[in-house]
């Protein structure tokens, strides 16, 4: 339905995007805008395309073997179009341009590692890091869901909790007794006057 043989998500025909949107709306009752769903589809499409390229195209095999190494569930003609683009002068130039752009940036920015160019490309595609989000884990995943809550590290065990509760109850009883004693003393002083 969403073929990978388009150079970018923007080149994908609206009919394909709308069909995917209709399928999602039929299956799920989502309370988000159509634009948001299409944006999420675009992200998933790019992620999937990137994964396929890494797993099936970047292998050290001949072009003919790459063309025959079709990912399961993929239509052969779509795979062949994508492989031919990635292997074409235009595809290679696009990659070289991106790497050259980042190398230029890296040469003026001492904090950038030349070996980390791929991560810079991800930063451009996905945008800057944002508080409360975990990259490459899909929409809606937050750090607590992904990494787990850190607050449980500081929570005492059940027996420790019970001991702490008992200690606090004893402390309350002592404070009440002290307060009652002070009130009694004040009443006695007031009566003596």
Any residues with CB less than 8 A from the CB of 105 and at least 6 apart, and which?
112, 120
Q: Residue 121's pLDDT band (boundaries 50, 70, 90)?
A: low
Q: What is the DSSP letter of 6?
A: S
Mean pLDDT of the chain: 79
Name 141's Cβ contacts closer than 8 Å, sequence gap at least 6. 133, 134
Does position 57 have pLDDT exceeding 70, yes or no? Answer: yes
- Of the candidates 48, 43, 36, the one whose C-alpha atom is nearest the C-alpha of residue 126 is 43
Q: Which two tokens stand for residue 96?
A: 């070289």
Tokens of 6: 């388009």
Question: Which residues lie closer than 8 Å to 71 by C-beta, 6 or more apart?
Answer: 52, 55, 56, 79
* 2-24 b/e (C-beta count within 10 Å ≥ 16 → b): bbbbbeebeebeeeebeebbeee
Burial of 45 (0-12, 13-18, 19+ CB in 10 A): buried
Pairs from 148-152 (Cβ < 8 Å, separation ≥ 24):
none
pLDDT in tens, 59-87: 788 888 888 888 888 888 888 888 888 88
Query: How far apart are alpha carbons 37 and 23 in whole angstroms?
Result: 11
Give the tens place of pLDDT for each residue, 82-112.
Answer: 888 888 888 778 777 777 777 776 666 555 5
Q: What is the pLDDT of residue 132?
A: 66
pLDDT value of residue 87: 82
Residue 136: the pLDDT is 64
The CA distance from 12 to 169, in Å, is 67
Which alpha helices (H) appear in the chain, and where do they start and end?
14-27, 34-52, 63-68, 76-87, 89-108, 117-126, 143-147, 158-192
CA–chain centroid gap for 117, Å, is 20
The band of 125, judged by pLDDT with boundaries at 50, 70 and 90, is low
Assign 3-class secondary structure to 44-59: HHHHHHHHHHHHHHCC
pLDDT digits (tens, 9 = 90+) for 24-42: 889 988 888 888 889 999 9
């Amino acid at each position: 339905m969403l073929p990978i043989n388009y150079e970018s998500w923007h080149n994908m025909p609206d009919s394909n995007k709308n069909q995917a949107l209709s399928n999602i709306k039929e299956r799920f009752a989502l309370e988000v805008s159509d634009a948001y769903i299409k944006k999420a589809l675009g992200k998933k499409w790019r992620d999937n395309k990137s994964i396929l390229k890494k797993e099936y195209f970047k292998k050290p095999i001949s072009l003919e073997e790459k063309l025959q190494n079709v990912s399961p569930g993929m239509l052969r003609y779509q795979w062949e179009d994508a492989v031919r683009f990635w292997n074409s002068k235009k595809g290679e130039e696009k990659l070289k341009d991106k790497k050259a752009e980042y190398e230029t940036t890296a040469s003026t920015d001492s904090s950038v590692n030349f070996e980390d160019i791929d991560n810079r490309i991800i930063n451009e595609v996905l945008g800057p890091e944002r508080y409360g989000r975990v990259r490459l884990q899909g929409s809606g995943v937050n750090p607590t869901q992904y990494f787990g809550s850190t607050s449980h590290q500081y929570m005492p065990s059940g027996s420790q909790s019970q001991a702490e509760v008992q200690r606090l109850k004893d402390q309350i009883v002592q404070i009440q007794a002290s307060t009652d004693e002070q009130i009694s003393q004040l009443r006695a002083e007031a009566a003596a006057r």
